């Protein structure tokens, strides 16, 4: 018996092991295939996946409240909203510092608009208060300046609160010819000052940075906002006093002198400052609403989309006169199904006729089916307004024929009937074309064979022809239903108050009310409904049975 010889792995023509060469070739093929589909994949990601992801995010995003009112968010955490009164001055002070900064950045109007979705009237409340909040603390500013004019100078505040290293950096930047504050070193607080004057350092640091970034001003040349003086008064008026020795020699003397006199200052409760601007600030529901919507993410938009609302006391139903969206969803589904059924009833005979006529004749008729695509959607919809209105062509013919009385003309526009008629006309080609393409592939010999075996015309059609056309019906129904459920131009023009779809409300919130969060929630729910119906269709009928021919 001969001894077996180990020849080693099989090699390719280039001398590499064959298995390694095959893997390398397969990897290269996959990369080439990926590069070929990369443009399409990128297009889908940008135009389809990214907008859906953005819609999902906007439907729960609520960061504007917490980002605009960071101090208020922290202060309201421990506030008992069941007391039935305004928050205490500590919370109102934090709200004042947040609001004056937001007003300087013009963010208070966006914040008010967001909260106005939850409680009507808050938007005007924020706008009105934003114009006057920079005066809150004016009474303290006058008393500080009367005590020592140094408090009116920006240099005093920079020396008191600014980091010495920042002061040197800023001076060097100025000496180098810096004339645009946007490129200046950003204001930094002195080490330890936040422990000594917590509210003052926080409020002034925000003022200095906004002065530099937003207004291109030098903090040392600007008098602080009045609320900064309010913060200084609150810090100095603390019963335990402050560690003035930690401030440095020059500042210690000024602060120590002021701290001794501050107890004699005339004080004004912050509550009265807010109620002087608008009595609605005394309503605890305003503050409860602010507290309720402080989290960065909220289910509030989705709750509103199903006629519920998030309140300080939990989730509850909206008042009956505000319950709208469930009705719109039901109407949208119902009318889309009716339009789909109408297209099947009208489109099936037409497709059957086209598929069984001689090619030359069917091509001419097919052009007539496609002709509406060459006409503007707006023109076709407007034509139905002319035809269906009470003084329109159809009513005139019915009156002329004596079918209806002249004083009892039919109301066929600005309602569900008008929407169904107009949309059936617009979407009918999308039903005919899939049906025609499938029916064209059904051999006529099948029906003739059935008849030769004794089947009647109806039996041959129903038992032989119709089952083979079902894939075309499925394709047409899916196409028409999905197009119908998202339509908004035609319902907007001919639907009136009873024939509009949920898509019309989404368009309204995007373009008019600018409530993009609610529009995104409605769109997300609509997308979920379509996907669920698509899944049910697949389970009951089978998506594999759908065919475009």
Pick from 322, 286, 292, 299: nearest CA to 126: 286
Checking if the pLDDT of 478 tops 60, the result is yes
Task: Report residue 503 as tokens.
Answer: 């898509």
In this prediction, residue 179 carries a pLDDT of 67
**pLDDT tens digits, residue range 437-477?**
999 888 888 888 988 888 898 999 999 999 999 888 988 99
Q: What is the Cα–Cα distance from 516 to 523, expressed in whole angstroms?
A: 10
Checking if the pLDDT of 49 tops 90, the result is no
Pick from 348, 350, 393: nearest CA to 370: 350
Q: What is the Cα–Cα distance from 455 to 89, expressed in whole angstroms?
A: 91
Checking if the pLDDT of 11 tops 80, the result is no
Q: What is the Cα–Cα distance from 369 to 435, expressed in whole angstroms?
A: 13
Q: What is the Cα–Cα distance from 268 to 259, expressed in whole angstroms?
A: 18
Contact residues for 536 (Cβ-Cβ < 8 A; gap 6+): none
Q: What is the Cα–Cα distance from 270 to 267, expressed in whole angstroms?
A: 9
**pLDDT tens digits, residue range 95-145?**
999 999 999 999 999 999 999 988 889 999 999 999 999 999 999 999 999
Using 50, 70 and 90 to split pLDDT, how confident is the model at 242? Answer: low
Angle at CA of residue 195, ends 193 and 196, nearest 5°? 65
Q: Which domains does the chain have, with CATH numbers?
A: 25-58 (no CATH), 64-133+270-320 (no CATH), 138-264 (no CATH), 325-545 (1.10.3720.10)
Mean pLDDT for all residues in the chain: 87
**Helices marked H in 373-501:** 377-388, 393-400, 416-439, 444-452, 457-460, 466-485, 489-494
Count the alpha carbons within 13 Å of 369 in the hemisphere toward its beta carbon.
25
In this prediction, residue 544 carries a pLDDT of 66
Distance of CA 172 to the CA centre of its chain: 46
Percent of the chain exceeding pLDDT 70 equals: 92
Of 16 and 59, the one with more pLDDT = 59
Task: Report residue 500 as tokens.
Answer: 């509009």
List of long-range contacts for 494-497, beta carbons under 8 Å, 24+ apart? 494/381, 494/384, 494/385, 494/388, 494/413, 494/414, 494/418, 494/419, 494/422, 495/414, 495/415, 495/416, 495/418, 495/419, 496/413, 496/414, 496/415, 496/418, 497/414
Q: What is the mean pLDDT of residues 13-33?
A: 78
Q: What is the mean pLDDT of residues 346-359?
A: 91
Q: What is the mean pLDDT of residues 325-351?
A: 94
What does DSSP assign to residue 375? S
Q: Which residue has the tokens 């939990």?
A: 314
Task: Report residue 352 as tokens.
Answer: 């059957």
Checking if the pLDDT of 1 tops 50, the result is no
In this prediction, residue 122 carries a pLDDT of 92
Dump strand ranges (E) for 211-331.
308-311, 314-317
In this prediction, residue 82 carries a pLDDT of 77
What does DSSP assign to residue 17? B
In this prediction, residue 498 carries a pLDDT of 87
Pick from 489, 488, 444: nearest CA to 468: 444
Checking if the pLDDT of 2 tops 60, the result is no
Q: What is the mean pLDDT of residues 26-49?
A: 87
In this prediction, residue 7 carries a pLDDT of 61
Q: What is the mean pLDDT of residues 44-72?
A: 89
Of 544 and 204, the one with more pLDDT = 204
In this prediction, residue 9 carries a pLDDT of 67
Pick from 344, 291, 278, 334: nearest CA to 477: 344
The count of residues in the chain is 549
Task: Report residue 144 as tokens.
Answer: 């500080």
Checking if the pLDDT of 547 tops 60, the result is no
Task: Report residue 340 as tokens.
Answer: 């789909």
**pLDDT tens digits, residue range 210-231?**
988 888 888 888 899 999 999 9
> With the C-alpha atoms ordered 532, 533, 534, 535, is the resulting torsion angle positive or negative?
positive
**pLDDT tens digits, residue range 78-92?**
888 777 788 999 999
Q: Which residue has the tokens 């309201």?
A: 76
Backbone dihedral angles phi then psi of residue 267, each to the nearest 5 degrees: -110, 150
Percent of the chain exceeding pLDDT 90 equals: 35
Report the predicted TM-score, pTM, of the whole model to 2 decimal places: 0.80
What does DSSP assign to residue 124? H
Q: What is the Cα–Cα distance from 415 to 421, expressed in whole angstroms?
A: 10
In this prediction, residue 371 carries a pLDDT of 86
Checking if the pLDDT of 316 tops 90, the result is no
Task: Report residue 245 as tokens.
Answer: 């020795």
């Amino acid at each position: 018996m001969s001894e077996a010889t180990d020849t080693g792995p099989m090699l390719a023509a280039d001398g590499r092991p064959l298995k390694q060469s095959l893997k390398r070739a397969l990897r290269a093929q996959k990369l080439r295939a990926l590069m070929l589909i990369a443009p399409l994949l990128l297009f889908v990601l940008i135009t389809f996946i990214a907008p859906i992801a953005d819609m999902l995010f906007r439907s729960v995003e609520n960061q504007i409240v917490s980002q605009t009112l960071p101090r208020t968010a922290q202060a309201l955490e421990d506030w008992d909203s069941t007391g039935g009164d305004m928050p205490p001055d500590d919370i109102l002070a934090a709200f004042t510092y947040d609001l004056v900064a937001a007003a300087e950045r013009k963010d208070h109007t966006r914040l008010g608009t967001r909260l106005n979705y939850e409680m009507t009237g808050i938007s005007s409340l924020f706008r009105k208060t934003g114009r006057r909040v920079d005066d809150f603390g004016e009474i303290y500013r006058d008393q500080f300046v009367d005590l020592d004019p140094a408090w009116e100078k920006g240099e005093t505040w920079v020396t008191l609160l600014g980091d010495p290293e920042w002061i040197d950096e800023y001076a060097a930047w100025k000496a180098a010819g810096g004339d645009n504050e946007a490129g200046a070193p950003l204001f930094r607080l002195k080490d330890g000052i936040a422990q000594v004057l917590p509210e003052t350092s926080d409020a002034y640091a925000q003022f200095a940075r906004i002065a530099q970034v937003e207004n291109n001003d030098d903090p040392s040349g600007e008098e602080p906002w009045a609320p900064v003086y309010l913060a200084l008064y609150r810090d100095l008026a603390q019963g335990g006093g402050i560690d003035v020795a930690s401030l440095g020699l020059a500042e210690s003397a000024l602060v120590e002198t002021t701290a001794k006199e501050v107890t004699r200052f005339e004080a004004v409760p912050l509550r009265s400052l807010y109620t002087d601007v608008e009595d609605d600030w005394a309503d605890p529901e305003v503050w409860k609403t602010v507290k309720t919507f402080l989290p960065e993410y909220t289910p509030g938009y989705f709750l509103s989309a199903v006629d519920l609302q998030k309140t300080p006391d939990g989730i509850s139903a909206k008042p009956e006169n505000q319950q709208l969206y469930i009705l719109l969803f039901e109407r949208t589904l119902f009318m889309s199904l009716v339009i789909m059924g109408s297209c099947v009833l009208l489109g099936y005979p037409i497709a059957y006729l086209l598929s069984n006529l001689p090619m030359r004749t069917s091509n001419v008729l097919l052009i007539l089916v496609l002709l509406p695509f060459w006409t503007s959607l707006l023109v076709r919809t407007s034509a139905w307004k002319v035809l269906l209105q009470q003084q329109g062509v159809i009513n005139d013919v019915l009156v002329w024929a004596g079918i209806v009385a002249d004083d009892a003309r039919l109301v066929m526009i600005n309602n569900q009937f008008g929407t169904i008629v107009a949309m059936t006309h617009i979407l009918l080609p999308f039903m005919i074309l899939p049906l025609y393409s499938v029916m064209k592939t059904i051999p006529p010999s099948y029906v003739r064979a059935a008849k030769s075996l004794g089947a009647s015309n109806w039996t041959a059609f129903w038992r032989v022809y119709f089952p083979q056309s079902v894939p075309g019906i499925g394709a047409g129904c899916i196409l028409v239903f999905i197009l119908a459920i998202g339509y908004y131009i035609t319902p907007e023009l001919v639907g009136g108050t009873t024939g509009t779809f949920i898509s019309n409300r989404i368009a309204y919130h995007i373009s008019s009310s600018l409530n993009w969060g609610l529009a995104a929630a409605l769109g997300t729910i609509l997308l979920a409904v379509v996907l669920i119906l698509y899944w049910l269709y697949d389970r009951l009928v089978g998506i594999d049975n759908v065919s475009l021919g």
